[in-house]
């Protein structure tokens, strides 16, 4: 969607860190901790609970196919763990 400019994964020999360079303006973002599992059917319910509107915002998920937003995960018909939102 054009919000992420660069993504760097830092290995600190523990849990690791992800450094994200944002290129767009984001009003609110947050991290979901703990990173609980989200099934395909639960993505819509989770999005309605966390996001301010159906048209605005994205959930960030880690899936077996990589890191993606909730709309792409729904298109690829996969679930995963929720990381955060913006």
- b or e along 19-29 (b: 16 or more beta carbons within 10 Å of the residue's beta carbon)? eeeeeeeeeee
Q: Please count the residues of the chain.
A: 86
pLDDT in tens, 1-56: 667 778 788 888 877 788 877 777 766 778 888 888 999 989 888 888 888 777 78
Please determine, for residue 78, whether its predicted confidence score (pLDDT) is greater than 90: yes
pLDDT of residue 23: 76
pLDDT of residue 57: 84
pLDDT of residue 1: 61
């Amino acid at each position: 969607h054009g919000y992420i400019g660069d993504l760097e994964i830092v290995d600190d020999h523990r849990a690791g860190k992800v450094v994200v360079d944002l290129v767009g303006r984001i009003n609110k973002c947050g991290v979901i901790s703990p990173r609980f599992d989200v099934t395909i059917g639960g993505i819509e319910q989770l999005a309605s609970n966390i996001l301010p509107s159906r048209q605005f915002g994205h959930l960030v998920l880690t899936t077996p196919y990589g890191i993606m937003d909730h709309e792409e995960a729904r298109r690829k018909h996969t679930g995963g763990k929720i990381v955060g939102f913006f």
